[in-house]
Structure 1
């Protein structure tokens, strides 16, 4: 079993609300999960609509 940790901080310029942010982040997470079969979690900036 391989375990790795990667922290990525995104600035979402096109997000105008938390709903937009969730849509963008969900799409990124889904594509990475399909391509690399990995698990992801958003652990910070949950109330900031342009940060992920």
Structure 2
């Protein structure tokens, strides 16, 4: 729940920071979401590798 909350807070801050950009805000939010998803994927995969090695 904490990770989802931090993601929503990050999206909200990004949205309000770039609110005057018009159509460009969609590209910014898509990039933010893709980056967050890839980091979550690598954290999950990396955590599995380190857990098995211990």
Query: Normalising TM by the smaller chain, what interval?
Result: 0.3 to 0.5
TM-score w.r.t. the length of structure 2 is: 0.46
Per residue, is there more helix in 1 or in 2?
2
TM-score w.r.t. the length of structure 1 is: 0.48
* Greater radius of gyration (CA): 2
Q: Which has the higher contact order (CA 8 A, sep 6+)?
A: 1
